[in-house]
């Protein structure tokens, strides 16, 4: 059973460009969350997708957008890249249960460098 | 809003020493979950433990132990007889019982264990 997968592993872009990162959730999971981890910082929640809709969002500008497909995989798009967008982007998948905590499974991340 | 503070940025110990990583959290909710994750240089987050706010029992797993004290809003992590393989960044995190299960992370503590 494959865990959470992310692509690409590494990416280099220049300021002003746009980037798309991809995440495939663990089998049986229907929810995908994205986190940004800047160097020397803890991961910060960007947004969460469930039933193909964004249902929760952290404190990130509209340049960050996403999508969830019918097969539950997800994309994170960042427009007009800034140097400060350089970070490790982590995807976490889970199954939205009826109550309590829905365990998050993290992928290996995509390291984005903006030059 | 919730917050997690890891005051120790970096800790250096010699192999076989015991080390405690501190974590203090803030939340107004009465039901919440606390976590510790390990992040080795590869970048992938490794789940270590989850505790819910109603279970203050300390837990031990091999060389790892956790001390949860609601009175001081702390959830500290101790590694006994540290090993070089324990070198990593450790994150404490908090999740509310909201159904979304998103995580709020601290900034992490880098642990360096030298031989």
pLDDT along chain B (115 residues), means of 10: 95 98 96 95 91 88 94 96 97 88 95 97
- Quote the mean pLDDT of chain A: 94
| pLDDT score recorded for residue B59 | 87
**Can you tell me the mean pLDDT for A103-115?**
95
B103 with A111: Cβ contact below 8 A: no
> Distance between CA B109 and CA B88 in Å, rounded?
8
A48 vs B33, B47, B102: nearest CB:
B102
| pLDDT score recorded for residue B73 | 96
| pLDDT score recorded for residue B27 | 95
Nearest CA in chain A to B4: A42
Q: How far is B29 from chain A (nearest CA, A)?
A: 13
Q: What residues contact A46, with CB distance under 8 A and at least 6 apart?
A: A33, A34, A35, A36, A57, A58, A60, A64, A66, A76
A88 touches B at CB < 8 Å: yes
A45 with B106: Cβ contact below 8 A: no
| pLDDT score recorded for residue A2 | 77
The residue whose two tokens read 């590869």 is B42
pLDDT in tens, A34-55: 999 999 999 999 999 999 999 9
Q: What residues contact B9, with CB distance under 8 A and at least 6 apart?
A: B107, B109, B110
| pLDDT score recorded for residue A98 | 66
> Distance between CA B79 and CA A57 in Å, rounded?
35
| pLDDT score recorded for residue A59 | 95
Nearest to A33 by CA among A115, A111, A96: A96
A35 with B52: Cβ contact below 8 A: no
B105 touches A at CB < 8 Å: yes
DSSP run (H or E) holding A31: strand A31-37
Chain centre distance of CA A82 = 17
A106 with B45: Cβ contact below 8 A: yes
Taking contacts as CB-CB distances below 8 angstroms, the residues of chain A near B104 are 45
* A99 burial via Cβ count (<10 Å: 0-12, 13-18, 19+): exposed
pLDDT in tens, A53-108: 999 999 999 999 999 999 999 999 999 999 999 999 999 999 987 667 788 899 99
């Amino acid at each position: 059973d494959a865990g959470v997968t992310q692509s690409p592993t590494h990416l280099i872009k220049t300021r002003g460009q746009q980037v798309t990162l991809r995440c495939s959730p663990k089998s049986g999971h229907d929810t995908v969350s994205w986190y940004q981890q800047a160097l020397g910082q803890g991961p910060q929640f960007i947004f969460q997708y469930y039933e193909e809709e964004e249902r929760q969002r952290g404190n990130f500008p509209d340049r960050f957008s996403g999508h969830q497909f019918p097969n539950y995989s997800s994309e994170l798009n960042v427009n007009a890249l800034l140097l400060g967008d350089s970070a490790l982007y982590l995807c976490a998948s889970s199954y939205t249960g009826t109550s309590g905590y829905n365990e998050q499974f993290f992928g290996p991340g995509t390291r984005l460098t903006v030059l | 809003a919730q917050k997690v503070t890891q005051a120790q940025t970096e800790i250096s110990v010699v192999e076989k020493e015991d080390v405690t990583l501190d974590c203090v959290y803030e939340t107004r909710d009465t039901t919440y979950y606390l976590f510790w994750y390990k992040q080795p240089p590869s970048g992938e987050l490794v789940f270590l433990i989850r505790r819910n706010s109603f279970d203050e029992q300390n837990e031990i797993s091999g060389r790892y132990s956790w001390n949860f004290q609601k009175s001081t809003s702390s959830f500290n992590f101790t590694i006994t007889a540290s090993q070089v393989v324990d070198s990593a960044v450790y994150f404490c995190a908090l999740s509310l019982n909201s159904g979304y299960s998103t995580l709020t992370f601290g900034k992490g503590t880098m642990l360096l264990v030298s031989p």
